[in-house]
Amino acid sequence: MVKTTRRALLAAPALLALPAYAQTWPSRPIRIIVPFPPGGLVDVLARSIAQPLSAALGQPVVVENRVGAGGNIGADAAAKSAPDGHVLLATSMGPVAVNQFIYRSMPYDTQTAFAPITLLASTPKVMCVTNARPWRSVGDVVAAAKAEPGRLTAGSAGAGSSLHLALELFKRATGTDIQHVPYRGAGPALTDLVAGQIDLVIDNLPNILGQITGNQVRPLAVATPQRLPQLPNVPTMAEGGIDFVFGTAFGLVAPAGTPEPIITRVATLVRDALRDPMIGGRLSEQGAIVGGGGPAEFAALIAREKTVLEPVIRAANIRAE
């Protein structure tokens, strides 16, 4: 006797509605390329959705880290893969929106290389200062920066990183001159912040939440419209009189030309995975704002990032090192 599971009965109408090529997908393991090192937020997000995708699709979903050139190497590998739904790219906004303005040449066309799938998560930015400085508010930082232009130092994960862009946006919003100190990753910048070698960072909350809760650094303001549940006692930039809201988005894309039914199905499965308290709840506890919207929403977000950040990058003459 053939046993029909409830899951199979529920899935049958959706499968019948798909074209033949989509019904046979996936026919082999799926690779999610992460263009950044293991352990970073993009890597964590990719691995968080890999297992539920595998369970839903009946094929292994393997995360592959291909790092270098600000994410361009891994993104190029994904862009040049067959558009059949067996290769996806989990990424920050750099490779799909920002790098084109920072690198003198790109190995792929950012405008046409990818089909957006879904927003995985976004991370709010928080300004933290070293405990070695006396500042207790973002207003104190602005006053100190204006009193001695160019003397204050702010670390970032490298030229053109989201931390660097956040600093440039903050400087524009406050009319201050703060010296940018690029590092090879956010980790070394945090190490020097804790040691008092630099004055401040404007970092992604998941990166620095441990140092905040451990009282190793002092949070002054969050760059969000409302206060964050993880930091209820830390005011927003707006509460400090500064018009500055900025976060970092992370999402999933596929090579351009990937069939729309496959794109839609992956977006739906990822949304369901992120709604799972075991996955989305854990990410929220770490300071991420869980995503899960559709392809059109993510495409609009990518376009908005390009519009907002291009003039900032050009004005600050940011170039990849």
Condensed to tens digits (0 to 9), the pLDDT of residues 126-174 reads: 999 999 999 999 999 999 999 999 999 999 988 888 999 999 999 999 9
At 226, which CATH number?
3.40.190.10
Structure tokens at 257: 């030309």
Which helix (H) or strand (E) segment holds residue 33: the answer is strand 30-34
Is residue 138 within 8 A of residue 240, CB to CB? The reply is yes
In angstroms, the CA 31 to CA 77 distance is 11
In terms of pLDDT, which residue wins out, 161 or 87?
87
Q: By residue range, what is the domain housing residue 94?
A: 25-122+249-316
Q: Is the pLDDT of residue 16 over 60?
A: no
Count up the domains in the chain and report the number: 2
In a domain, 292, yes or no: yes
The reply to whether 76 and 189 lie within a common domain is no
For CA atoms 168, 37, 125, 113, give the dihedral sign.
positive
Give the DSSP letter string of 102-116.
HSSS-SS-TTTSEEE
Lowest mean pLDDT among 4-18, 65-79, 278-292: 4-18
Q: Is the pLDDT of residue 302 over 70?
A: yes
In a domain, 260, yes or no: yes
**Residues 55-81: pLDDT tens digits?**
999 999 999 999 988 899 999 999 999
In a domain, 8, yes or no: no
Average pLDDT on 271-283 reads 93
Q: Token pair 């969050």 is at which residue? A: 222
The reply to whether 266 and 184 lie within a common domain is no
218, 247, 276 — which closes off a domain?
A: 247
247, 275, 304 — which closes off a domain?
A: 247
**Residues 183-204: pLDDT tens digits?**
888 889 999 999 999 999 999 9
Nearest to 275 by CA among 39, 58, 115, 52: 52
At 48, which CATH number?
3.40.190.150
In a domain, 240, yes or no: yes
In a domain, 15, yes or no: no
Alpha carbon 295 to chain centroid, angstroms: 16
Give the model's confidence band at 294: pLDDT under 50 very low, under 70 low, under 90 confident, else very high.
very high
The reply to whether 195 and 259 lie within a common domain is no
Q: Is the pLDDT of residue 11 over 90?
A: no
The reply to whether 105 and 128 lie within a common domain is no
Q: Is the pLDDT of residue 12 over 50?
A: no
The reply to whether 181 and 283 lie within a common domain is no
The reply to whether 118 and 148 lie within a common domain is no
The reply to whether 198 and 235 lie within a common domain is yes
In terms of pLDDT, which residue wins out, 236 or 36?
236
The reply to whether 234 and 262 lie within a common domain is no
Structure tokens at 40: 């970073």
The reply to whether 134 and 104 lie within a common domain is no
Average pLDDT on 176-182 reads 96
Is residue 31 within 8 A of residue 87, CB to CB? The reply is yes
247, 282, 306 — which closes off a domain?
A: 247
Structure tokens at 178: 């703060």
The reply to whether 229 and 306 lie within a common domain is no
| pLDDT value for 22 | 58
Radius of gyration of the chain (CA): 21
The reply to whether 116 and 254 lie within a common domain is yes
Average pLDDT on 222-227 reads 96
The reply to whether 131 and 237 lie within a common domain is yes
| pLDDT value for 21 | 56
